[in-house]
Amino acid sequence: MSDLPREMEEEVLSKLPVTSLGEVRSTCKKWNSITKGHSFLKRHMGESAEGASKKKQKQRKGIEIKVVMLLEKRVSLMSVNLLYPSIEPIGNINADGVDISKIIHCDGLFLCVTTGDERLLVWNPYLGQRKWIEPRNSYHRFDRYALGYDKKKKQHKVLRFANGYDTRVKHRVSELEIYSLDSDSWKLVDDFSPDWRVELYQRGLSLKGNTYWYAHDKSPTSGPLKTFDLADFLICFDFKTERFGPRLPLPFHGFVGDTATLSSVREEQLAVLFLKFGTPAHTLKIWISSKIEHNAVSWGSLFLAVDMRPLIGVRVYNHAGSFFVDEEEKLALVLHKDKGQPGPTVRNTAYIFGGNGGNGYLKQVDLGQCRDMYCYPLVYSYVPSSLQIEQPEHTLIY
């Protein structure tokens, strides 16, 4: 290989899957340089897209989908077959030596939140680039994070906001700040005083540069406390205006404690999963938006409804419920933590629903024992990105 012209080396290396690029880059400086060059990335992305298209046509009957999963603090590329249910690891794309509790996907980049003392890492696994983000002052246990971009300038940014009462210091924490990857700096937004709240376990969903959350009205400060019956809606952060937009309607009314999670469809539409807490309603429902923008949403008809009682007899815990859908085959995969049999062992499980009204098809795949009760499984569809992460000279890279 060392005697081949550079263009031919690029051609050979471009045939390799994305999971092999890390090993290729660590082989020698020359290959590291080649596989991060513009011409190689353009060639490799083209090969990946063409190969995926041919494979999709050939294997459509098997409904094979490539996704990224967070399981037990590790991030892996997985091959998922929905009709002949299997979930197989293709390659570990985790940042070496870092335990990750949460991941947020946007435009081929990941924002990773580490376990323990929270730290933020922006990561492009395709290029093998990482960038640690140091806090302006410090991170807070109430923090929610998002990754998005200004659609006009295509500038990627990180949102950090906290809004809750801290019993340790006995005062309300209300902060919002934005980090720019281009300038490597934080900007504080002073007038952040929302009349809504996002539960700590709720995960934001990045779509077309913006981020959406399932939110509720704040609990009343006087009068009868109807804590569990508050108005619910979507709230969107627009990374162009750097502001939260208006409340967006949902196709259901949920109570605090119900399971409501978000997913994307083809990076174009928003999907929402809803399951009421407790009895008597045990029907898992999924809707897909027909239109979604930062200031407007409309919903199509019910995509899937599944009566959980005769199927599995469990409810998807509101901290879990990460999912994705296959519109064409009308299938949904939902991740969950549940007790294994026999004994009290907790396991990560994937449930696949579909068929006539959702009740005609049910499969499950065991994803292994859960060793950390507070690290919930997450799944995202993933398309590699050649987006470079800017690395200012004074930024430390670990």
* Same domain, residue pair 78 and 40: no
Question: Considering 10, 35, 62, which residue would you say is the last residue of a domain?
Answer: 62
Q: From the centroid of its chain, how far is CA 36?
A: 25
- Does the pLDDT value for residue 392 go beyond 60? no
* Same domain, residue pair 57 and 67: no
Contact 203, 262 (CB under 8 A): yes
Neighbour-count burial for 227-244, b at 16+ CB within 10 Å, e otherwise: eeebebbbbbbbbbeeeb
Query: Residue 355: which residues within 8 A CB-CB, separation 6 or more?
Result: 330, 361
For residue 139, tell me if it sits in a domain: yes
Query: Residue 297: which residues within 8 A CB-CB, separation 6 or more?
Result: 234, 248, 249, 270, 289, 291
* Same domain, residue pair 345 and 204: yes
Question: Considering 62, 83, 98, which residue would you say is the last residue of a domain?
Answer: 62
Give residue 314's pLDDT: 61
* Same domain, residue pair 178 and 300: yes
DSSP lists the bridge partners of residue 157 as: 148, 180
Q: How many domains does the chain have?
A: 2
For residue 273, tell me if it sits in a domain: yes
pLDDT tens digits, 369-389: 888 777 889 999 877 787 888
Query: Residue 110: which residues within 8 A CB-CB, separation 6 or more?
Result: 68, 75, 103, 104, 122, 123, 124, 125, 147
Reference 189, options 149, 210, 154, 160; nearest CA is 160
Q: How far is CA 92 from CA 98, 106, 164, 334, in A?
A: 13, 19, 36, 21
* Same domain, residue pair 100 and 110: yes
* Same domain, residue pair 53 and 73: no
CA distance 337 to 118: 23
* Same domain, residue pair 165 and 31: no
* Same domain, residue pair 57 and 68: no
Tell me the two tokens of residue 269: 């539409």
Contact 335, 318 (CB under 8 A): no
DSSP 110-167: EEEEESSS--EEEEETTTTEEEEE--SS---TT-EEEEEEETTTTEEEEEEEEEEEET
Region 216-231 average pLDDT? 68
pLDDT tens digits, 4-49: 677 777 777 777 766 667 677 777 877 777 777 767 766 776 655 4
- Does the pLDDT value for residue 340 go beyond 80? no
* Same domain, residue pair 195 and 228: yes
pLDDT tens digits, 135-178: 887 777 778 999 999 988 888 999 999 876 666 666 677 889 99
Q: How far is CA 311 from CA 175, 306, 344, 348, 361, in A?
A: 43, 9, 20, 17, 10
For residue 347, tell me if it sits in a domain: yes
Structural domain boundaries enclosing 57: 1-62
* Same domain, residue pair 43 and 53: yes
For residue 314, tell me if it sits in a domain: yes
Question: Considering 10, 32, 62, which residue would you say is the last residue of a domain?
Answer: 62
For residue 69, tell me if it sits in a domain: yes
Q: What CATH number corresponds to the domain at position 55?
A: 1.20.1280
Q: How far is CA 347 from CA 90, 183, 204, 340, 376, in A?
A: 21, 42, 24, 6, 11
In the block, residue with structure tokens 């208006």: 246
Region 71-99 average pLDDT? 81
Coil, strand or helix: which one is 220?
coil
* Same domain, residue pair 195 and 81: yes
Q: What CATH number corresponds to the domain at position 239?
A: 2.120.10.80
* Same domain, residue pair 358 and 332: yes
For residue 350, tell me if it sits in a domain: yes
- Does the pLDDT value for residue 55 go beyond 50? no
For residue 349, tell me if it sits in a domain: yes
For residue 386, tell me if it sits in a domain: no
DSSP lists the bridge partners of residue 331 as: 326, 354
Region 97-110 average pLDDT? 87
Distance from the first to the final alpha carbon of the chain: 31
